[in-house]
Structure 1
Amino acid sequence: MRLLTLNCHSFMEENYEEKILETVKVIAKNDYDVIAFQEASQSIDSLIEYDNLRKDNYALRIQKELKKLNKDYNLFWDYSHIGYDKYLEGLAILTKKEMISKESFFVSKIKDKSYWKTRKILKVSIKEENEVIDIYSCHLGWFKDKEESSKYQIDEIMKRIDKNRISILMGDFNSEAYVENEGYDYLTKEYSLFDTFDLAENKDSGITVIGKIDGWESTEDKRIDLILSNKKIKVIESKVIFNGENETVVSDHFGLDVVCNLN
């Protein structure tokens, strides 16, 4: 199974339209089974397409462009909060697999969608051969945030994990993997989640952010976009994508491309 997670930054990117098409081209070429997006936004005032999806929804645009290339993906999207007073900032999961079930749920203490620290998570259950797999698209806050720590948010996610199934957590965890005693350690030590980067037979640096980005004072390069599993799985390859070396840069985050065997 091939997985992609990307904090796409959507409308905040320069040359937004070009970057959508570049992202679609790479998705079609690599034929991902599951894709998790974060910061996949839509405009508050855009016309409704169906359900909660508006016509300019980033993930919906991706799905439609893929359809033109004869790539059929099922889509689930929901938003966490309003950004810049004009965007509904959300998460998405696209998959070629059938979605057996899907849900979105708050993980932040704050539930006010007008406040930027409000966080929701998406969960989709799919079938891989004869096994049900749970997929999560995650965009967490910061561990040291006194008002809305990601520690609480991680606890809320882990309450939902079915120990009898493989659960794959994909996304922007806003916690540097090389900093001890913060979110990454809490995920991998307190809750014993496996980092597919560590499990990978072949891998690169894993760095997904270069320099300073919104929400971070640090100018150091960071490994904050992760794909984690509640069970030890066979990971063939983990590599950073959309980083200028492996495909064109399309966001302020690079993507993470993981090939694994879940059976």
Structure 2
Amino acid sequence: MNILTLNTHSWLEKHPLEKLQQLAAQIIREDYAIIALQEVNQRIDSSLAISPQNFHPTKEQLPIHEDNFAHLLVQRLKEQGHDYHWSWTYNHIGYDLYHEGVALLSKQPIQPTALVVSAEKDPNDYRTRVALIGQTKVGKKSITAVSCHYSWWTEVGGFADEWSKTEAALQNLSSPLIIMGDFNNPASAKYTGYELVLNSPLLLQDSFLAAKEKRGEHTVEKAIDGWGENQEKLRIDFIFTSQEMAISSYQVVFDGKYTPIVSDHFGVAVTIQ
């Protein structure tokens, strides 16, 4: 199966509808079974969507608006003959204009849970972080997929606490795990957050390290939102999986080489046997 994660930057990008179509075209081309998206926005003041198709709400679901980026993406895919089930959960207000959240798309129905992982719970505070946990299937095999957008290690009550809450929520699940998203903690032994994930009792593997074939590595190559002083190539977007999963390939996508740039982050796609 092919899976994808991307921090979309959605409506903050120039020509966002063109980039949404480019994202849809790549999804169709590679036929991803599961997709995790971050910075999936909708304007606070936009109209409510009427019965969004194939949408699976969480227990305390914030209403979906007509301009919800994932909602429009699923519509665009449907128009081209590709059905996806999806879920979205709200994290916090972004740029004073948007409900910002994370989304999961799957070829099969999703049973979603919104997990508040941050100490902060006020959506007016950017430090409020909510992971989206989705129980779904690929073929007949049950999978637990997570879309997440974590805080930096340096934040008070930041990544370490958020990861601890994630572990607690997932540790007793029997289905294999795929945890995807923007971790805001670079892949390097000098960064404690990355080491914390690799040494987790969840027994995860970094798909980049596990893959038999690799194309590309880094997902950020310049200063971006949240990394305003950055001058390095960083790998902060990850797909971590249970160790029993065999990763045949890892690819950086939407990097301007084989696929167009659609966000301030590149995406990551992996193939699991």
Per the normalisation by structure 2, the TM-score is 0.91
Separation of aligned partners in 1, 2:239 and 2:106: 16
> 1:67-102 deviations in whole A, cap 9, x for unaligned?
010000001011100011110001000111222x21
Contact 1:117 1:148 in 2 (8 A): no
Contact 1:5 1:37 in 2 (8 A): yes
Provide the residue aligned with 2:237 in structure 1. Answer: 225
Provide the residue aligned with 2:18 in structure 1. Answer: 18
Separation of aligned partners in 2, 1:241 and 1:29: 12
Identical amino acids, percent of aligned pairs: 35
Provide the residue aligned with 1:46 in structure 2. Answer: 46
Provide the residue aligned with 1:207 in structure 2. Answer: 218
Q: 1:101-250 residue pairs with structure 2 within 5 A?
A: 101-145=111-155, 147-161=156-170, 162-191=172-201, 192-216=203-227, 217-250=229-262
Deviation at 1:230, TM superposition (A): 2.9
Unaligned stretches of 5+ residues in structure 2: 51-61
Provide the residue aligned with 2:263 in structure 1. Answer: 251
> 1:30-55 deviations in whole A, cap 9, x for unaligned?
11111100000000011111471100
Give SS of 1:23's match. helix
Deviation at 1:17, TM superposition (A): 1.3
Give SS of 2:122's match. coil
Per the normalisation by structure 1, the TM-score is 0.95
Provide the residue aligned with 2:104 in structure 1. Answer: 93
Q: Which 4+ residue blocks in structure 1 deviate beyond 4 angstroms?
A: none
The AA in structure 1 aligned to 2:20 is: I
- Aligned CA RMSD, in angstroms, stands at 1.3
Unaligned stretches of 5+ residues in structure 1: none
Give SS of 1:48's match. coil
Contact 1:91 1:138 in 2 (8 A): yes
Contact 2:185 2:191 in 1 (8 A): no
> 1:124-180 deviations in whole A, cap 9, x for unaligned?
1112344321000010000121x2310000001111113522011000000100242
Separation of aligned partners in 1, 2:211 and 2:191: 23
Q: Which moved more, 1:158-167 or 1:14-23?
A: 158-167
Q: Which moved more, 1:75-84 or 1:160-169?
A: 160-169
More strand by share: 1
